[in-house]
Structure 1
Amino acid sequence: MNDNNNPYSQLFQKQKANQFQVGNTSYKERIKKLKRLKHALEHTYKQEIRDALFADFKKPQLETDLTEIYPVVDEINFVKQELKTWLKRKQVGTPLAMLGSSSYIINEPKGVCLIISPWNYPINLTFGPLVSAIAGGNTVILKPSEMTPNTSKLMAKMVSALFDDNEIALVEGEVETAQALLELPFNHIFFTGSPAVGKIVMKAASKHLTSVTLELGGKSPTIVDETAHLEKAVRKIVYGKCTNAGQTCIAPDYVLLQESLKDEFVQHFRKEVKAFYSQNPEESTSYSRIVNNKHFERLKNSLDDAKDKGASIDAGGALNPSHCYIEPTLVSELTEDTSLMQEEIFGPILPLKTFKTLEEAVNYINSKEKPLALYIFSKSKKNTDYIINNTRAGGTCLNHNLLQYLNHHLPFGGSNNSGIGKSHGYFGFLEFTNQRSLLKQHTLGAVDLLKPPYTNWKQKLVDLTIKWF
């Protein structure tokens, strides 16, 4: 696609022309923008956000406040405290062989950035990366998912009210819109979504050698060993799996359970679901729905596929297609060729797989792609150390799940199939900035003495430098 024929070329060019003015803003000016966004989330549009997310998938108000609004507000608060320090020119060491020079690192803006966000946490995963982009001094085009139309429409209204479009703009549209945007030569692309689409984004970015942050997903395993406090573990797993009806990239995707604990685990699962969502979760005001019919059918087909291949439904299993409702469901005796064991589930269906030895569990995890998250429930330091040392994952949480996302002191992101790059706090700031090196020479140094013509004396000087410096 020729850029001149691209429907978003004019918007891109406006931001490109404005990138240095935005990039040269002080930390106070950037904080001012973040404060505007914070006030919009906390006050001006708070109820509209709740209403939009309820309209899109019956997200409970408390869940919206906790998982959509709070993480962005908390991110802003963290950046407000730290940004002045992050933006300072940082002096670093200079080798003795370069005596007479000083060295610095400058975190400069990358430029014009594209943020493509998903539907499962549209406010959080659109405005969270935007906080980092603003902190870095960039201009930004936002492209939210078309699958949450009410929330996307509201975010467009918010962005147009808060920012000039030559600085920050939001574009709504279907897949064709994202494709058109990806044709443009952005300086950085931040994408949150599936590994399959992440590959498409990375391929498009490669045409312009655009840097990327890919926040992907995959199958995040949860190990529960025989030393774990089982009742507490199951309570936390049910919470992590059923928040947003399982439509969370870091939700426990499947459980690897010590074989002897299976019957007790099933009983605890049933009890905790009832405690959270009543005897009939469909009537609970604390339980979300699947985002649309397409994803409901995907999950229903996966469940049917598992049952056809002999799986056991140990808890739940009720569905209501007219309301895109799927009951929290526990499934065991799954064969490896089922879609539930092959694909990221992204719904309230939890496969349960047992193991006899910890080595068996670790080998199973390592037979798959690196997960975005790995959860371990155990009281044994020996066991947890063994698991951590012999697996690879984007992040790990011990004796809980999801919480690692909320700590802005920790980098959030995957590895290989589960992602490239990190977000949150300083790590998100680094994604949207270039660490520019600066060396300043004050006086003549050793290097200046080594210009041609080369002599024996200069050779001796080089030999001494290699040996001692």
Structure 2
Amino acid sequence: MAAGNAVVAKPSELAPATSAALARLLPRYLDTDAVAVVEGGVPETTALLAERFDHIFYTGNGTVGRIVMRAAAEHLTPVTLELGGKSPAFVDRDADLDTVAARLVAGKFLNAGQTCVAPDYVLTDPETAAALEPALVRAVEAQYGTDPARSTEYARIVNERHFDRLTGLLDSGRVVVGGGSDRSRKYLAPTVLADVAPDAPVMREEIFGPILPIVTVPGLDEAIDFVNDRDKPLALYVFSESDGTRERFAAETSSGGLGHGLPLAHLTVSDLPFGGVGESGMGNYHGRYSIETFSHRKAVLKKPLS
């Protein structure tokens, strides 16, 4: 809207309360000739995608992202896709592990892990992993208390389907903390898994939930190779005191964003472009980048006739 567009907004059917709130409030406060809200699921989305738009912006997963791109191709409509993915967090052996643990817990378990830029897994060497485990246990208790189910700061899983998907991943490693669940309340405790194999079920797709696997590699070279052998993530987080280590991740890996020492924070900086690359999406937005994304710079040249 700030770029001068009319908007058709389609909220996710997976969050029906939020969708209903947007459908109720946007027409109340915004010009209905410029903004329309369409609620529904697959049929409504399919019908919308058959229409001709100037731009389509989609946030979600790669499966639906491909559907959006195919539909947009029929009208040669440009798209911006924010698709998430498995965002790694590398922990160097020189890092202050109590600080790292507190920041990982805050970033990973926000909204019960249901954010697109949550640290998906930890990558570190075996000795650091062993020392990080008790630090993560302390950080979870400091953040959510001895019983996170009673914490007013801890969220629930969006629906039963995703609850079942997540609990099915708990056998992928040794439980360091958490692991408890209650399907009737869609509660899954903030959970850390250790001794996780690179091909374990929890490592095969974006977790999008409160499970943090720890995967060990011998060192920095192997960590960079591990990241590069997989789809390009939406975010990559590096916890290291070494300028050389930070520079190597910047130069030798590809990700939508790169955060040093703190997860999620780059998302909140309006001066930074936010978006993915490869499997994690295309295009970017936030601040002036949103205006540029939803605008067309039309070249205009004028030469006097006399």
* TM-score under structure 1 length normalisation: 0.64
Counterpart position of 2:74: 207
1:172 shift after superposition: 0.8
Q: Determine whether 1:338 maps to 2:205.
A: no
Q: Does 1:328 align with 2:190?
A: yes
The 8 Å contact of residues 191 and 198 in structure 1, kept in 2 or not, is answered as: yes
- The answer as to 2:269 corresponding to 1:368 is no
Instruction: Report the CA distance between 1:268 and its aligned residue.
Output: 0.6
Matched residue type, 2:168: N
Report if the CA contact (8 A) 1:163-1:169 is conserved: no
Match of 2:47 in 1: 180
User: Would you say 1:350 and 2:212 are equivalent positions?
Assistant: yes
- Measured on the aligned residues, the alpha-carbon RMSD in Å equals 1.2
The Cα offsets for residues 60-80 of structure 1, whole Å up to 9 and x where unpaired, read as xxxxxxxxxxxxxxxxxxxxx
CA distance in 1: counterparts of 2:262 and 2:199, whole angstroms: 29
Question: Paired residue for 1:263?
Answer: 130
The answer to whether the 8 A contact 1:242-1:328 is kept is: yes
Q: Which structure dedicates a bigger proportion of its chain to helix?
A: 1
Task: Tell me the equivalent position of 1:384.
Answer: 246
Q: 5+ residue gaps in structure 1? A: 1-133, 445-469
Highest Rg: 1 or 2?
1
Distance apart, 1:440 and its partner CA = 2.4
**SS at 1:214 equivalent:** strand
**2:74 corresponds to 1:223:** no
Q: 1:241-266 CA deviation, whole Å, 9 max, x = no partner?
A: 00000000000000001321122211
**Partners of 1:432 and 1:387 in 2: how far apart?**
31
- Mark the CA change 1:258 to 1:337 in structure 2 (over 3 Å): closer, same or farther: closer
Task: Find the partner of 1:165 among 17, 24, 32.
Answer: 32
Aligned-partner SS, 1:331: strand
Residues 97-154 of structure 1: CA distance to partner in whole angstroms, max 9, x if unpaired?
Answer: xxxxxxxxxxxxxxxxxxxxxxxxxxxxxxxxxxxxx111000100001121122111
1:422 corresponds, among 284, 300, 303, to 284
1:14-163 correspondence to structure 2 within 5 Å: 134-163=1-30
Q: What is the match of residue 453 of structure 1? A: none
Paired residues in the alignment total 306
1:30 aligned residue: none
Alpha-carbon shift at residue 443 of structure 1 (Å): 8.1
Structure 2: segments with no counterpart, 5+ residues: none
Using the TM superposition, name which of 169-178 and 246-255 deviates more: 169-178
Equivalence for 2:116: 249
TM-score by length of 2: 0.97
Q: How far is the alpha carbon of 1:428 from its aligned partner? A: 0.7
Is 1:410 matched up with 2:277? no
Q: 1:435 and 1:368 mapped to 2: Cα distance?
A: 36
Structure 1's consecutive aligned runs of 4 or more residues displaced over 6 angstroms after TM superposition are none
